[in-house]
Amino acid sequence: MRQFRLLLAPLAVACVLGAMAPAAAQTAAPSDATRVPNSRADLAISFAPVVRRTAPAVVNVYAMKAVPRGNPVFDDPFFRRFFGGRGGPGLGAPERMQRSLGSGVIVDASGFVVTNHHVVAGADQIRIALSDRREFDADVVLSDQRTDLAVLRLKGDKQRFPTVELGNSDELAVGDLVLAIGDPFGVGQTVTQGIVSALARTQIGVSDYQFFIQTDAAINPGNSGGALVDMAGRLVGINTAIYSRSGGSHGIGFAIPANMVRVVIESAKSGGSTVRRPWLGARLQRVTPEIAESLGLPRPTGVLVKTVAGASPAAKAGVRVGDLIVSVDGLGVDDPESLNYRLATRPIGSTARITLNRNGKESEVMVALAPAPETVPREEVVLRGRSPFTGIKAVNVSPAVAEELHLETDEGGVVVSEVVENSPADASGFRPGDMILEVNGAKVASTKELDLATRASARAWRVTVMRGGRVITAMLGG
């Protein structure tokens, strides 16, 4: 079983996944300046000039969060029944400070720092330490769980800070030399060297937009949010995860490409609290060898269109069910993740040139890039009371909500957006993304109807949900 670890120190967060499927690398043609070392003088070349230029912009990120101390009394299920879960509400349980360490990169001289979302998620206090040993408090400007990126702002007296230039990650090629800079295991700023091992890795599972640069530069816990730079001293990626059974480097590390990082930085600088992303309005499917054979393709390639939403950008551009999308702006796509990445790195308000294969003939369409619409108000409700639904946060479904939660439908209804940890809903098995269709025989079409249906008293609850396209009916105790 393969394990992918987010690079947070002192404790790495593990994600256990299935086999990592190889994705076709989006390789760029090597430039004329690229060459193989062919003399002792070439091998004696030092990376020190690149390090001197970039290392001052790489920082340590200390995140602190107050968490309640555990009480062994509440490990007993008998007591938990009376106090509503571990710790018990309102009991004044003492708190302790949970500290984590990551890395970050200054990308603007006014003090904007990019790091990973998981480094600062839930933090009450953030402290930034520069390579010259100066320290500053920082605020979170924008934290985007879907890309696992966050942008911080240093609290300085209008100081100017060292920065690193953002590169174009689409220009990377497998075999290019790269340096990883960060603070592994909290030992202090460290530089390691390697190559780009692969591009377009899409089966890593640590963010919604999976399209990672793979490198063999040694990166370890504490490197999360650190810099992956090329030989021109440009930031080409943010180090995020490693494949590891032990928690240490096995030479397989993953970085978020700089072109995705740029989108999040620009959203933060524009004052946005969230990242607005283009919406295609189509459901997509990976092309398997069997599908390729049925379509008469020589090999699996492209992305198959399963459905097209009415009045969506895809529909307006003329995309049809059964079309095979083979490239975006001339860059090939081989799975839904790579297509989503290509669209997500394009600005809202622009257009994307999509190449289609329809019945064996290729054609191009121009798709207007617009965000998914909020066709109905979200009207979030938090379910309370004495029922198995207590602890659910639910919203009405719109194309925007469906896109955020990866729903199979955007045609209305109610979806669970969040489940409070250790709540009755958590114990009942509800998950974010569950669409609640019926409660005790009553159809649920809005959050108001769900709130009303779950306020009644009942000894048992019959609930029907849709999860991952499957309809499930279950009986829950009262």
Q: pLDDT at position 56, please?
A: 95
Q: Is 92 left (phi over 0), alpha (psi -120 to 50) or beta?
A: left
Residue 167 lies in a domain: yes
Q: Residue 128 is part of a domain; what is its CATH number? A: 2.40.10.120
Residue 43 lies in a domain: no
User: pTM of this prediction?
Assistant: 0.76
Which of 318, 342, 368 finishes a domain? 368
H or E segment to which residue 476 belongs: strand 470-477
Q: Does 425 lie in the same domain as 460?
A: yes
The binding site comprises: 118, 148, 222-224
Q: Residue 346 is part of a domain; what is its CATH number? A: 2.30.42.10
Residue 75 lies in a domain: no
What domain range includes position 343? 282-368
- Of 469, 393, 471, 473, nearest to 440 by C-alpha is 473
Please identify which of the residues 100, 103, 117, 118 carries the catalytic annotation. 118
Residue 456 lies in a domain: yes
Q: pLDDT at position 116, please?
A: 93
Please identify which of the residues 148, 216, 323, 410 carries the catalytic annotation. 148
Q: Does 324 lie in the same domain as 247?
A: no
d(CA 270, CA 276): 11
Q: Does 166 lie in the same domain as 123?
A: yes
Q: Does 406 lie in the same domain as 363?
A: no
The binding site for substrate comprises: 118, 148, 222-224
Which of 368, 392, 418 finishes a domain? 368
Please identify which of the residues 103, 197, 224, 267 carries the catalytic annotation. 224
Which of 228, 248, 273 finishes a domain? 273
Q: Does 60 lie in the same domain as 174?
A: yes
169 annotated active-site: no
117 annotated active-site: no
In the chain (478 residues long), the average pLDDT of successive 10-residue segments reads 50 32 42 67 79 94 76 47 45 61 93 93 91 92 90 87 93 92 83 87 56 84 88 93 60 87 92 86 91 88 91 94 94 88 90 93 94 91 90 94 81 90 91 93 93 86 90 85
Give 188's contacts (C-beta < 8 A, 6+ positions apart): none
Q: Does 105 lie in the same domain as 7?
A: yes
What torsion do the CA atoms of 440, 446, 447, 451 make, to the nearest 10 degrees?
A: -30
List the structure tokens of 176: 């290019």
Q: Does 264 lie in the same domain as 288?
A: no
d(CA 137, CA 135): 7
- How many independent structural domains does the chain possess? 3
Q: Residue 156: what residue type? A: G
Count CA within 13 A, CB hemisphere, residue 316. 13
Q: pLDDT at position 386, please?
A: 83
